[in-house]
Amino acid sequence: MNGPLVFTVVGAGPFTVGLVDALAASPDDLGARVRPIELRLLGRDEETLAALEVYAGNRLAGPVSAGTDHGLLDGADVVLVQVRPGGAAGRIADEQLAASLGVAADESLGLGGLRTVLRGAPVLRGLAAELLVRCPDALVLVLTNPLSSFVAELSRSGLMAVGCCELPTVTGRQAAAALGLGDGELGWDYSGLSHRGFLHGLRGPDGAELLTVLVDALTASGSGIGAVAADEIASLGALPMKYHGLLRGTSSVHGRAVAVDSARSDLRAELLSAPRARPESLSARPTPWYDVMVAPVLRALAGGAAARLVLDLPSGDGLVREGWAVVDAGGVRPQPPSGTAAPASVAGLVALYEAQERAWAALLAAPGRSTLTAAVACDPAIPEAAAGAVVDALLPEALQLADQPVLSHWSAT
């Protein structure tokens, strides 16, 4: 193909400035062999979209358009889904409910994640129905959390969907830095699901095993990686994601929705006042998912250097697991496991998380008290003592999903 790679962002808002910056920073080392990227920004806030169009047009070489017209989806080659069902108000309410019930607050795990899934499933289903009409062959990249559940929802509709979470790559880079290695010098295998994964089989450029070396280095410095201490890494024989403590009940999360919404408001105000300048307030909430994941994927699809990344990939059994994949101009190619098997302790936890994911899927397929109770019961981020209260609190959302499983007006939520 000689034409531009048409890339539509669904849910464009103030933080999309980070995406524009990531695309602007992408090197062009292949010249004419790289397809130009046509950026389309679809959102709801016309003022923000107008400012984003100016900002992106000032920074990018390819065509840029922005607006509320769903025609921006027509013929897209790649669609980035970053809608937030319920908006900031929904996330704030989720965290307030979690605090009132004495459970951890998070947008992708536990009560917050489950409530977001119930609220968001009809939105994503409505979006999927429109994508199948306007751009049925598009590759759909998903940033919306809970990532595994929403990638699965879009995949079940017949779309080609994969999830982009920067956490495995960022965690690997942190481990490499602790070992005194540069990016790309630390090899590792991976097992798990979004926010519930593990790096194992850590090895250096010469193939030498490095997990023990990492544990020793962290112990000596008195530090950890992503809030995971050295002794926990040693006990697991693997390096978990930063959410491991929340899932195991050894740490709590009090939420940050108010801070994120405040940062969004500051960024929007700055963008509107000076749409050609990079907003300084973006530093209040960095956007590594764009730099680490989205920009390399787009560049590879456009004909640039192939990217090897951990992506959230649909599996034949209906679950969405994280695993290595290669992205190039031909698309996304999952890579079969070729390294070390996960330690038994990790395999047991992954099986637990997969059971939780299946229970969530069953709830979305047939929302009601029984499936909700089952989903809450097997969620490691919800203490057993709070399970009944969580079920009672979320049942109205489950029944609402049962009454209206698909929203044709998905963009209004």
Query: Do the Cβ atoms of 333 and 308 come closer than 8 Å?
Result: no
Is the confidence at residue 26, as pLDDT, over 70? no
pLDDT tens, 136-185?
999 999 999 999 999 999 999 999 999 999 999 999 999 999 999 998 89
pLDDT at 32 over 90: no
Q: What is the pLDDT of residues 175-202, one digit of tens each?
A: 999 999 998 899 999 999 999 999 999 9
* pLDDT at residue 368 is higher than 70: yes
Residue 33 has pLDDT above 70, yes or no: no
pLDDT at 31: 45
pLDDT > 70 fraction of the chain, expressed in percent and rounded:
97
Is the pTM higher than 0.75? The answer reads: yes
Token code pair at residue 360: 């969530």
* Whether residue 146 has a cis bond before it, omega within 30° of 0: yes
What is the token pair recorded at 339? 């390294």
Position 253 pLDDT exceeds 80: no
Which uninterrupted H or E stretch holds 365? helix 344-365
- How far apart CA 126 and CA 411 sit, in angstroms, is 9
Q: Does 65 score more than 90 pLDDT?
A: yes
The three-point CA angle 223-349-224 to 5° equals: 5
Judge whether residue 114 has pLDDT over 70: yes
If pLDDT is split at 50, 70 and 90, which confidence band does 29 have? very low
DSSP 305: S
Q: Residue 27's pLDDT is what?
A: 61
Give the confidence band of 30 by pLDDT, cuts at 50, 70, 90.
Answer: very low
C-alpha 80, offset from chain centre = 11
Mean pLDDT of 51-64: 96
The whole-angstrom separation of Cα 281 and Cα 250 is: 33
How far, in Å, CA of 161 to CA of 132, rounded?
12
In this prediction, residue 251 has a pLDDT band, given cuts at 50, 70 and 90, of confident
- What is the mean predicted confidence (pLDDT) over 375-403? 96
Q: How confident is the model at residue 268 (pLDDT cuts 50, 70, 90)?
A: very high
To the nearest whole number, what is the mean pLDDT of the chain? Answer: 94
> What contacts 321, CB < 8 A, 6 or more positions away?
148, 192, 193, 312, 313, 315, 354
DSSP character string of 145-159: SSHHHHHHHHHHTT-
**Over 90: is that where the pLDDT of 412 sits?**
no
Structure tokens at 185: 């010098």
Cα gap 230→34, rounded to integer Å: 43
Cβ burial, residue 395 (10 Å; 0-12/13-18/19+): middle
Contacts of 255 (CB under 8 A, 6+ apart): 94, 95, 98, 99, 105, 106, 112
Q: For residues 161 and 192, is the Cβ–Cβ distance under 8 A? A: no
List pLDDT tens digits, range 308-367. 999 999 998 999 999 999 999 999 999 987 778 999 999 999 999 999 999 999 999 999
